[in-house]
């Protein structure tokens, strides 16, 4: 039953974009009402996820302690659901120690998290309106969905060959780039969606339906 499912949504406020204090409640609104949702910016929450059925990751800086990373990976390995949303694939951006610069970058993505997500963010052109084509109508998440149009950051990603791509963007410079995919991670399920930069896409009805379906699928509801 959906009313027995619990979802943790985690994000951060260290950058002037993807601020969880602004977007956290919008993400929570995408999750069906019957689910219990907890919003947090505390990465320490990842060390014990035993009370949750799924984690929604909206972190831009994925710098974790060993215990935090192991808690998340073990949770999914043992059957938990992981939903990476938009900036969750940005596995090279980290908070800068320079007071004059809020962000810096690693040379390589966090390898264990990249394996979990199934790909990673590389760059994006300017925010614009573009179409997203559903390319797999046989998956439970997208079986009842139609193509959608959204105003968002068109993420350019490096994507693993073995993920199951459910949707691709139709963009003049980056046509056919995957937008939505799934894969298995040991006993758990992973769903990633590159949409969700700000309110325009987080309140888009078609995007909301996509995420709601993904939560039900991840939690086997």
Q: What is the model's pLDDT at position 3?
A: 54
Q: What's the total number of domains in the chain?
A: 1
Q: What is the model's pLDDT at position 2?
A: 43
Q: What is the pLDDT of residues 56-108, one digit of tens each?
A: 999 999 999 999 999 999 999 999 999 999 999 999 988 888 777 788 889 99
What's the N-to-C CA distance of the chain in angstroms?
Answer: 6
The domain in which residue 28 lies consists of 2-218
Q: What is the pLDDT of residues 179-191, one digit of tens each?
A: 999 999 999 999 9
pTM of the model: 0.95
What number is the average pLDDT over the span 123-131? 94
Q: Smallest Cα–Cα separation from 178: which of 127, 117, 219, 221?
A: 117
CB-count burial class (<10 Å; 0-12, 13-18, 19+) for 171:
middle
Q: Is 27 left (phi over 0), alpha (psi -120 to 50) or beta?
A: alpha
Quick one: how far is CA 137 from the chain centroid? 21
CB atoms closer than 10 angstroms to residue 111 = 10
Whichever domain contains 19, its CATH number is: 3.40.50.880
């Amino acid at each position: 039953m959906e009313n027995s499912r619990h979802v943790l949504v985690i994000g951060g406020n260290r950058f002037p974009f993807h601020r969880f204090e602004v977007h956290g409640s919008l993400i929570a609104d995408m999750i069906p009402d019957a689910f219990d949702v907890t919003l947090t910016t505390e990465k320490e929450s990842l060390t014990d996820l035993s009370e949750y059925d799924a984690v929604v990751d909206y972190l831009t800086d994925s710098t974790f302690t060993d215990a935090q990373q192991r808690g998340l990976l073990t949770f999914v390995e043992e059957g938990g659901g992981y939903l990476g949303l938009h900036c969750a694939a940005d596995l090279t951006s980290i908070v800068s120690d320079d007071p004059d610069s809020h962000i810096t970058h690693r040379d390589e993505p966090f390898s264990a998290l990249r394996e979990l997500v199934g790909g990673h963010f590389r760059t994006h052109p300017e925010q614009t309106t573009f179409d997203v084509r559903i390319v797999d109508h046989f998956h439970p998440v997208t079986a009842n969905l139609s193509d959608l149009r959204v105003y968002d950051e068109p993420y350019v990603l490096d994507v693993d060959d073995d993920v199951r791509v459910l949707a691709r963007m139709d963009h003049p410079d980056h046509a056919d780039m995957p937008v939505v995919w799934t894969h298995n991670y040991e006993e758990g399920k992973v769903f990633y969606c590159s949409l969700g930069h700000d309110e325009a896409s987080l309140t888009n009805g078609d995007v909301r339906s996509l995420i709601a379906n993904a939560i039900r699928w991840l939690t086997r509801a």
